[in-house]
Structure 1
Amino acid sequence: MSTNSPLLLVLSSILLCGFLTKITIAFSIKEATIDDLQLAFKRKHLTSRQLVQFYLKEIRKLNPLLRGVIEVNPDSLYLADKADQKRKAKAPGSLLSLHGIPILLKDNIATKDKLNTTAGSFALLGSVVPRDAGVVVRLRKAGAIILGKASMTEWAAFRSKFLPRGFCGRKGQGRELSHVGWSRPMCRTVRDAVYVLDAIVGFDYYDNATRGAAKFIPRDGYKQFLKPDGLIGKRLGIVRNPFFKFYNDEGSVKTRAFKHHLDTLREKGAILVDHLEISNIDEIINFTGSGEYNAYLAEFKPAINAYLKQLVKSTVRTLADLIAFNKKFSNLEKTKEYGQDTFEAAESLRGADKLLKIAVQI
């Protein structure tokens, strides 16, 4: 959730669902890929405005149950019209793969538009960011339409160890699960994910971590590695313990789903090294014992304070302000039910730099 804060976590996702029918074709948006949509644009079977209108209708219909979208972009139809106009004016094949494609961003990715950026918290509702996050700059340049903000576990599950996954003050309890991570695409197909990845990777002036990483980006992007036979001969390790604890239940939905995907990998030529054991796996996944928790605590306070300080407009400017807000509006943020112990632990730290060095050494 940032204009490129290295701490707060982001996730971008493409919403593809439902059905749109025209007289000439029956076009399944639910199963459509980016290539399918671009072909429909090219053949004039579909416009970006029609696509956005359909998604907005689906959001209105499904969101009361799923609570997956925290807000939609009031300018989404205007942006769709601009994409359609540019498509008419440009030569065929001259536009990028994401042109006119609607994309949802997690609510911790900063957008300098009419959308809020709140990490799911009422504390930042109405705040104004100074600029688009780096990934948003790149998505806009690629022609993508920012459709809205997806809901998320509030503050990327960092407010409290007891905060349910998928809960945020602004939208309540959602149906998704959040995990610690970074900016990455979430799409229906690998090809779609690669199109988004190619659009968002690269050096960002406001994110020093990208400076060194940018040199490892392939010259012609990642699309060149999309090969139908790409799995042949690839060795993949399957670590069942402790991640597949449900696997003993052969009739469970999870077991059947994982078995199906593992079988598919084998059919495509991958060599699966099954039941792979990692000797110190318990230590690795121990969030507190490994020192990972201390590292997060040490980083969080200075990072969030720096982020809040740079906001053009905000009622909170420090982590202490956030904690006070949550206490004052506990009915909105469910602070009494779920607490904010992680926030409070980070706020109480002194000598955070020393703690961070110790945590990294561990």
Structure 2
Amino acid sequence: MLLEISARKPFHCEPCRQPSEENSNTPHHGVVLIAAGAGIFSLVKAEGLPPYPLAEPDYSSKRQLDFSAFEAALSGLDPNRIAVMDTLVAEVTLLELQVLMNNGQFSAEELVTYYVQRIRAYDMDKLNSVLELNPEALAFARDLDVERAAGTVRSPMHGIPVLFKDNIATGEGMHTTAGAWAMRDWQPSRDAFLVSQLREAGAIVLGKTNLSEWANYMDVDMPNGFSVLGGQTRNPYGPYGTLGSSSGSAVAAAANFAAVTVGTETQGSIILPAKINGVVGLKTSRGLVSRDHILPLVDWMDVPGPIGRTVSDVAVMLSAMTDEDEKDLVTFDAVEVAGTDYTQFLVAENAVGKKLGIVVQDNAFIDQMIADFELGEDSASQFRQAMIQSNDKVRMQATPFVDIGIELVEVSAAAMPSTPDLSAFIDYGFRSALDAFLTDLSDEAPVRSLAEIVDINSADSDNRAPYGQGYLESAMKSPLTPDEYAAQVAESMSVADDLGSLFEAYALDVLLSDSQIYAATGFPALTVPAGYGEDGQPEGIILIGDFLGEDNLIIIGYAYEQATQARQMPDLDKTISEIDSMVNR
């Protein structure tokens, strides 16, 4: 039940395009304010916005995938072998892939070829989740196969193909673009620190994933999942949104175009795409994984994190990603857990006795909200009923945790800290961070500033910014001074103390909540598939952990996943046929 409220107090909509639980296809702007669950105001779609799936705009800048380095290998992968690989690889975990490769069922080279074959069959000009393939992937795979044959397996990531979001720098001739035309030719001279770590652990850089351009900060009218170089990313489960900005990373993992992927998040950009595309996504604690050489949005909030089909895969990936990095001094805040093997927390029984907080609207909170919005008698009655139903829904969602043996702790919505309003400072933060990043590149930089990017787009906006570049232009006009920005950041980051106090006051291990309060605090969050709606759209639960509390997130998330077994493979043939029929009619 939704109750539309006429907002009598100022309401600042957040440019991250937070979706509502009720309609998560929704672009952020052009919305009405509603009363939603967990005491949090959410957003629903206003009339007149285009539904998903969206057709490609009429433009000419989309980059085509290059399969030339893989043609010989692909020609040797006949349909019978593909069918065998489908059976062997579908839905298995990274740990199970290691067993299969150790047993000689297939090699890393064949695994790379298999994924490339799937990308060519189901992604190119279809789901649009992959922006570029690494022409050196097969060579790296062969070297790792030689190591395995000689008895050396570096880690559970050995020989595992990984796709990286295309704002994470990768060297060796690949591009890193953030999906933007102005960045189309940048070939970083080195890897981001996290990419180097995964390579050292034996991972294979398979390629780069599409994203919502500039981490979803291009224009209010640009759909989630679109970039001018990658086109419109589409949900592998059907005509639903993909959300953003790590759209391609979530879709590629869900569709089995790679074993695992890496995304980045400012606020919701890993968790929400993973949730709506039916996979597991982990937004890491700030400092746990290095942010080095990643194109920024709001640099003090941005963090990378793993996306996979299972909690097990995310734990394996995370174990290879954490370490101190002198190029990102915030990683020294996580020194106590650097190098942790997170697979040790994949024990469902360890969840018994853990405390899970659920956010409910008690009577005092409901009365206060009614007073704040000056609701009349009839509206107040409807609002109260909606909040009671919301509480029932939250308690129902928590039932599987009770069955596992986890203790539920009801947290008053009044105790939840308010999510900081990014719109007050995101323009300045984006411009400042991006300009600093480009300056640090020196002669390697493809462009020198955000101002230059805006000018380049304006020279051919139909093909370089087909939905406009309103956010970029707005960022150029930010009136904030450096001191004012620093004050805004400090105020937003102080919410971490409030959230930490909440965990302490209620003695929580994990909080079950759709709130994005975790983002500004630097706390971690995990989403795990929870099933599918009546229309087939994937659904998921979101767990928030205490700072550096990834261990508890993995323990509880894994126990939930094992108890529910909610994830199902998408039927890509059916989805692509359905989407084609809708966008071409």
Q: Could you state the TM-score of these two structures normalised by the residue count of structure 1?
A: 0.79
**Is residue 167 of structure 1 aligned with residue 296 of structure 2?**
no
Alignment of 1:204-223 (within 5 A): 204-213=325-334, 215-217=335-337, 220-223=340-343
**Is residue 278 of structure 1 aligned with residue 423 of structure 2?**
no
State which of 318, 324, 327 in structure 1 corresponds to 2:458: 327
What is residue 139 of structure 1 aligned with on the other side? 198
State which of 305, 311, 316 in structure 2 corresponds to 1:190: 311
Change in CA separation of 1:169 and 1:38 when aligned onto 2, cut-off 3 Å: same
Work out whether residues 166 and 178 of structure 2, in 8 Å CA contact, stay in contact via their aligned partners in 1.
yes
Q: What is the identity, as a one-letter code, of the residue corresponding to 2:349?
A: D
Change in CA separation of 1:284 and 1:59 when aligned onto 2, cut-off 3 Å: same
**Is residue 348 of structure 1 aligned with residue 483 of structure 2?**
no
What is residue 113 of structure 2 aligned with on the other side? 53
**Is residue 318 of structure 1 aligned with residue 384 of structure 2?**
no
- The structure whose RCO (Cα within 8 Å, separation 6+) is larger is 1
Work out whether residues 110 and 133 of structure 1, in 8 Å CA contact, stay in contact via their aligned partners in 2.
yes
Instruction: Give the drift of 1:48.
Output: 0.5
Change in CA separation of 1:299 and 1:86 when aligned onto 2, cut-off 3 Å: same
Change in CA separation of 1:280 and 1:327 when aligned onto 2, cut-off 3 Å: farther
What is residue 232 of structure 1 aligned with on the other side? 352
> C-alpha offsets along residues 222-267 of structure 1, whole Å, 9 cap, x if unaligned?
22222221221222233478xxxxxx9xxxxxxx9x9997443333
Instruction: Give the drift of 1:202.
Output: 1.2
- Looking at structure 2, the residues matched to 104 and 26 of structure 1 have their Cα atoms a distance apart, in angstroms, of 19
Work out whether residues 292 and 359 of structure 1, in 8 Å CA contact, stay in contact via their aligned partners in 2.
no
Work out whether residues 237 and 272 of structure 1, in 8 Å CA contact, stay in contact via their aligned partners in 2.
yes
Work out whether residues 305 and 318 of structure 2, in 8 Å CA contact, stay in contact via their aligned partners in 1.
yes
Alignment of 1:51-130 (within 5 A): 51-63=111-123, 64-91=125-152, 94-130=153-189
The structure in which a higher percent of residues are strand is 2
What is residue 298 of structure 1 aligned with on the other side? 428
Instruction: Give the drift of 1:125.
Output: 0.8
Work out whether residues 239 and 277 of structure 1, in 8 Å CA contact, stay in contact via their aligned partners in 2.
yes
Q: State the SS of the aligned residue for 1:237.
A: strand
Work out whether residues 322 and 338 of structure 2, in 8 Å CA contact, stay in contact via their aligned partners in 1.
no
What is residue 96 of structure 2 aligned with on the other side? 36
Structure 1: any 5+ residue segments left out of the alignment? 1-17, 242-247, 249-255
**Is residue 264 of structure 1 aligned with residue 390 of structure 2?**
no
Q: What is the identity, as a one-letter code, of the residue corresponding to 1:298?
A: Y
Q: What is the identity, as a one-letter code, of the residue corresponding to 2:176?
A: T
Identity %: 31
- Looking at structure 2, the residues matched to 173 and 280 of structure 1 have their Cα atoms a distance apart, in angstroms, of 40
Instruction: Give the drift of 1:174.
Output: 1.1
Instruction: Give the drift of 1:200.
Output: 0.8
Instruction: Give the drift of 1:268.
Output: 2.1
> C-alpha offsets along residues 167-216 of structure 1, whole Å, 9 cap, x if unaligned?
11111221232234521000111121111111111111211221222x13
Q: State the SS of the aligned residue for 1:238.
A: strand
Instruction: Give the drift of 1:30.
Output: 1.7
Work out whether residues 320 and 339 of structure 2, in 8 Å CA contact, stay in contact via their aligned partners in 1.
no
The count of residues paired between Structure 1 and Structure 2 equals 319
- Looking at structure 2, the residues matched to 235 and 269 of structure 1 have their Cα atoms a distance apart, in angstroms, of 10
Instruction: Give the drift of 1:20.
Output: 4.7
Change in CA separation of 1:318 and 1:235 when aligned onto 2, cut-off 3 Å: same
Work out whether residues 131 and 229 of structure 2, in 8 Å CA contact, stay in contact via their aligned partners in 1.
yes
Structure 2: any 5+ residue segments left out of the alignment? 1-78, 235-241, 245-267, 270-301, 362-385, 387-392, 492-585
Work out whether residues 179 and 212 of structure 2, in 8 Å CA contact, stay in contact via their aligned partners in 1.
yes
- Looking at structure 1, the residues matched to 488 and 216 of structure 2 have their Cα atoms a distance apart, in angstroms, of 20
- Looking at structure 2, the residues matched to 284 and 169 of structure 1 have their Cα atoms a distance apart, in angstroms, of 35
- Looking at structure 2, the residues matched to 294 and 334 of structure 1 have their Cα atoms a distance apart, in angstroms, of 25
Work out whether residues 166 and 210 of structure 2, in 8 Å CA contact, stay in contact via their aligned partners in 1.
yes
Q: State the SS of the aligned residue for 2:356.
A: strand
Question: What is the CA RMSD across the aligned residues, in angstroms?
Answer: 2.9
- Looking at structure 2, the residues matched to 206 and 169 of structure 1 have their Cα atoms a distance apart, in angstroms, of 30
